[in-house]
Chain A
Amino acid sequence: MLQGQKISRQSQVTVGSVPSDQVRAESTERYALSAQEKKHPTAALLTVPVTAALALGIHLFVAKNEPPNESRTYTIVLGSFFAGAIVAAVMQRWWPALQTRMRRFRPLFTVGVLLLCVWEVITSGFRMLPLPYFPSPAGVVQSMINDRGLLFDSTWHSLVLLLSGYLLGVVAGLVTGVCIGWSGPARYWGMPLLKVVGPIPATAWIPLAMVISPSALISAAGLIALAVWFPVTMLTASGISNTRASYLDVARTLGANARYLVFRIAIPAALPSIFVGLFMGLGASFLTLVVAESVGVKSGLGWYVSWAQGWAEYGKVYAALVIMAVFFSTIMTLLFKLRDRVLVWQKGMIRW
């Protein structure tokens, strides 16, 4: 909610810094609300609390034939969600930022909670799916809490491995990408190598990596770096070599030397393309991380998933998957935030 305030303040500043009558019409708030939506009937306010209450009711009804401690935990989770929804519904009257957010996310939350209900009904309710492969949401939450120490540890190890591999790959990719994009000889020799070696999925190198690397951790970091290196190099090179010639011409007539042309003209001009590479590389790094952890490295969320699967503890498998989803999407969001900050000059031009 604080984030929401910050974002709206930022956009006011950038738009407000230029007198609006002389400004080219800028497309305003994407999520602008129509006048009708601004009306806020009590019925709409109650959607989320009511759905949460429904979920709680279904759970209490279904949980009779479940282990008691498992159902108690899930009762607490749903109960606190319900309480939170009520508090939010009351608070929004005095807190405009919260109000906007709630209006935007209400349908999403409602459907999300309903899906949890459906999951619980078909698992613990009617036992339509075979155990132990499909535990109930209560079982997953319980696994998450029971095994929180190991899960936290695994997440931490995954984070360290992911970041070291990703940053290594990004740095290497930026260097090779700028060289290939800028210099003719580097392009001549680098491009064929890139075109032949790049498309091989990094995970296909696992057998070789196991042989040549002193430790599984180092080889995993290297593989992640390789997976990131290819898209980053490709898109950096293409961004650099597609720098508008007229920008370079203008800079030359302003007295720019080669260094200025590369670092102050070509690289900034290539940034939108570089960010596409960073996003593609991030996706590739998630994949490589999980595969590397499940086959070689003895730690991290990927290892945890296959270890839990080995014990047929599917509750833990799903718990790890949920954590992975939160973990990866948080990192993705951080990269989006970085992009919004770096590419602020494109505001109103990009939509992805």
Chain B
Amino acid sequence: MVASSLQLRDVGKSFPAPDQPLTRRPVLETISISLEAGELVSLVGPSGCGKSTLLRLIAGLDFPDSGELLVDEEPISGPSAERGLVFQDPNLFPWLTVRRNIEAGLAARGVLQQKRSEVKEFMRLVGLEAFADAYPHHLSGGMAQRVALARALINHPKVLLLDEPLGALDAFTRMRMQDEVLRLWQNRRTTMLLVTHDIDEAIYMSDRIIILTQRPGTIEQIIPIALDRPRDRSSSDFLSLRSEILELLHFAGNRTSEVTA
């Protein structure tokens, strides 16, 4: 079993307001999502709508105020190596070389001795064998993010949570990395939940796009993307989906009124 299914039922989360510590502001409300095993789903929404909070809840780094989160029908009780998380900032451990960063997941679980052979395989997978002994500050942004992906993947997570992982990269590196992530996903068939603010990226990569509303985040709409893979970023289907989603997000200029009406 490589992938897990993921169910969120009526999940809500609030945080204390920074200026008034006694009042809590809701960040997420009544989020219900169901991901099938092996699905790649994108979360899109205005900034501050709780996308990252939702990923943290699924990762087990935070706990919801209400609702339940289930992985393969089991409630999430805390962080686990079965749910990998990659941030926008690669967050490589700067005191470890590339190789040791990639090994970190194995070392943390105490299985490095048995699984050392996999480290090479994962370095090859992300094309970083030549940099095995380099320290992170020697790496470019794209390379660092590839190391972060390899580090998350080495534990064979059944769910991979990606929090704007390509957000800090330039446009070309970004498109190349999108293909790389897709290749990894197609090889491993891990369930992936991708937070992004890039509509093109969401359409290019995902099976479904979940659009969240302004804070407190609720689900505005779920859009299935039925385009064949590999997708063509300039095909007419792609572009019409794109304008449809932009309308939903109220970025489509004067046609906005029709949609909201």
Contacts and interface: CB of A to CB of B under 8 A. Distances in A.
Interface of A: 17-19, 22-24, 26, 244, 246-247, 249-257, 260, 264-265, 268-269, 271, 344-349
26 contacts: A24-B137, A26-B138, A246-B87, A246-B89, A247-B93, A250-B87, A250-B151, A251-B104, A251-B108, A252-B78, A253-B59, A253-B60, A253-B61, A253-B79, A253-B83, A253-B152, A254-B104, A254-B105, A254-B108, A254-B109, A265-B93, A271-B95, A345-B95, A346-B94, A346-B137, A347-B137
Contacts of B186: none
A268 B84 CA distance: 22
A193 to B, nearest CB: 28
B85 interface: yes
B173 interface: no
Interface residues of B, number: 38
A255 B105 contact: yes
A238 B151 CA distance: 28
Interface of B: 56, 59-61, 78-81, 83-85, 87, 89, 91, 93-97, 104-105, 107-109, 130-131, 133-140, 143, 151-152, 155
Contacts, number: 92
Contacts of A268: 93, 95-96
A254 B151 contact: yes
A294 B56 CA distance: 60
A243 B151 CA distance: 20
B91 A246 contact: yes
A250 B85 contact: yes
B140 A24 contact: yes
Given A260-B107, A268-B93, A254 B138 contact: no
Contacts of B85: 249-250, 253
Nearest to B98: A18
Contacts of A253: 59-61, 79-81, 83-85, 152
A334 B208 CA distance: 59
B108 A256 contact: yes
A247 B90 CA distance: 10
